[in-house]
């Protein structure tokens, strides 16, 4: 077990900046997930921790010791790779014991440890199989066994579930959480799938363009996003954004306005604001009592319905003149989530209210969050 610290880490590939001046402290035994769109620098950050990449500037510490220039093998880490990366010319036993054999452990201890690791991931009786004879899920378990058998201080996982089918992915997700509880090791996890990040981590690190956007527990990132990027990235379906301006007595935009006292939040009249509303924080007018701080009612037309079984996603047009954009998330459009029993049809005129205690306001120009509720 060990903590991991990134100090002013910058990685450049020629002119391209993959990671820009990153500072991050990961505590002992923590499960931290790097999440962000592809090419955002999350994998590079992990490779820097692993030692597969040497940062252009800055330092990396593992367990308080500087490891910036140490090769991967001397860092007390192990890693699970996106493409699984089992050695195709070795059977399961040789794959799992590879690191132990390199470190010249006794044959007895190797056997014992391999057995234990195989038991953790339920791989008993497959020791002499070759990787090509196994299914994707089995290979993934071998890769995890190979990583845990050395009892590393830090466990790195680079999109380990990306190549699995949906059902197996959900299963492995719970497996990994159980594993974290049993091993009590620091785990650094990289994914572009925010569902994995939300479900497993103690904290998530949202990365975009090589910058840290927010480092917080999953629910904090969901309920109190620091900026527009995090607000839009975390949550599925994504938050609705309404672009507008601040006035003397509230927020105004083409299709939606909300009265509040801007001085409470240090907002100057005329400032460009973006209002963020999660689909589940919008209610039908008759369900107003469910909202903690209901807003006034807005009129809308139902455009498209997506019944999911446990809820219905309704794409609304806030005015009959609004042109529906292809993805249904343009200006004057609103995505809301409704109770599955709601009787509703495309074309219906409905009235909605918004829960003001869950409305987010962002400064459009800087992207920074101003408030996560607008109470009068």
DSSP string, 1-13: ---EEEEEEEEEE
Q: Which is nearer to another protein, 19 or 204 (CB)?
A: 19
CB of 87 to another protein, least distance (A): 6
Pattern of binders to another protein over 208-247, x per CB under 8 A? Answer: ----------------------------------------
The neighbouring-strand residues paired with 186 are 154
CB of 73 to another protein, least distance (A): 4
Q: Identify the residue among 1, 17, 70, 85 touching another protein (CB under 8 A).
A: 85
* Residue 113 touching another protein (CB under 8 A): no
Q: Identify the residue among 64, 88, 124, 309 touching another protein (CB under 8 A).
A: 88
Beta carbons within 8 Å of 170's beta carbon, 6+ residues apart: none
Q: Where are the alpha helices (DSSP H) in the chain?
A: 42-50, 92-102, 107-120, 136-148, 166-183, 194-200, 218-223, 228-233
Which window, 19-27, 45-53, 327-335, 354-362, contacts another protein (CB under 8 A)? 45-53
CB of 27 to another protein, least distance (A): 22
Residue 21 Cα distances to 7, 26, 44, 217, angstroms:
8, 16, 13, 22
* Residue 309 touching another protein (CB under 8 A): no
Q: Identify the residue among 89, 106, 323, 341 touching another protein (CB under 8 A).
A: 89
How many residues bind another protein (CB under 8 A)? The answer is: 27
Q: Which is nearer to another protein, 150 or 203 (CB)?
A: 150
* Residue 99 touching another protein (CB under 8 A): yes
Q: Identify the residue among 7, 17, 29, 52 touching another protein (CB under 8 A).
A: 52
Beta carbons within 8 Å of 374's beta carbon, 6+ residues apart: 251, 258, 260, 265, 356, 359, 361
Distance between CA atoms of residues 120 and 146, nearest Å: 11
Distance between CA atoms of residues 366 and 228, nearest Å: 9
CB of 67 to another protein, least distance (A): 13
Residue with tokens 């991050």: 24
* Residue 77 touching another protein (CB under 8 A): yes
Distance of CA 22 to the CA centre of its chain: 18
CB distance 204 to 32 below 8 Å: yes
* Residue 132 touching another protein (CB under 8 A): yes
Beta carbons within 8 Å of 30's beta carbon, 6+ residues apart: 186, 187, 202, 203
Q: Identify the residue among 5, 44, 48, 78 touching another protein (CB under 8 A).
A: 78
Distance between CA atoms of residues 237 and 193, nearest Å: 13
* Residue 141 touching another protein (CB under 8 A): no
Residue with tokens 């900046």: 17
Q: Which is nearer to another protein, 160 or 225 (CB)?
A: 160
List interacting residues with another protein (CB under 8 A): 50-52, 71-73, 77-79, 81-89, 98-99, 102-103, 132, 135, 146, 150, 156
């Amino acid at each position: 077990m060990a903590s991991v610290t990134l100090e002013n880490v910058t990685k450049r590939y020629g002119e391209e900046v993959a990671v820009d001046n990153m500072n991050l402290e990961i505590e002992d035994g923590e499960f931290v997930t790097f999440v962000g769109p592809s090419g955002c620098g999350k994998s590079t950050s992990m490779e820097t921790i692993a030692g597969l990449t040497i940062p252009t500037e800055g330092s990396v510490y593992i367990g308080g010791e500087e490891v910036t220039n140490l090769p991967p093998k001397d860092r007390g880490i192990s890693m699970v790779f996106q493409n699984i990366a089992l050695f195709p010319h070795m059977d399961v036993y040789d794959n799992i014991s590879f690191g132990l054999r390199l470190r010249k452990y006794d044959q007895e201890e190797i056997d014992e440890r391999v057995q234990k690791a195989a038991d953790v991931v339920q791989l008993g009786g497959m020791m002499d199989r070759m990787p090509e004879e196994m299914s994707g899920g089995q290979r993934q378990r071998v890769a995890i066994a190979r990583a845990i058998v050395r009892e590393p201080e830090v466990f790195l996982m680079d999109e380990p579930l990306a190549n699995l089918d949906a059902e197996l992915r959900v299963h492995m997700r719970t497996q990994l959480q159980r594993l974290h509880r049993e091993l009590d090791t620091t785990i650094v996890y990289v994914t572009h799938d925010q569902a994995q990040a939300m479900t497993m981590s103690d904290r998530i690190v949202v990365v975009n363009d090589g910058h840290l956007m927010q480092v917080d527990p999953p629910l904090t990132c969901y309920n109190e996003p620091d900026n527009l990027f995090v607000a839009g990235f975390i949550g599925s379906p994504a938050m609705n954004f309404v672009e507008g301006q601040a006035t003397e007595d509230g927020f105004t935009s083409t299709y939606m306005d909300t009265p509040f006292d801007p001085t409470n939040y240090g907002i100057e009249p005329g400032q460009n604001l973006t209002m963020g509303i999660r689909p589940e924080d919008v209610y039908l007018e008759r369900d107003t009592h469910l909202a903690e701080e209901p807003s006034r009612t807005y009129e809308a037309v139902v455009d498209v319905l997506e019944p999911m079984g446990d809820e219905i996603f309704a794409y609304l047009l806030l005015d009959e003149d609004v042109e529906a954009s292809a993805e249904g998330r343009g200006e004057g459009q609103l995505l809301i989530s409704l109770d599955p029993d709601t009787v509703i049809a495309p074309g219906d005129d409905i009235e909605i209210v918004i829960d003001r205690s869950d409305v987010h306001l962002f400064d459009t120009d800087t992207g920074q969050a101003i408030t996560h509720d607008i109470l009068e």
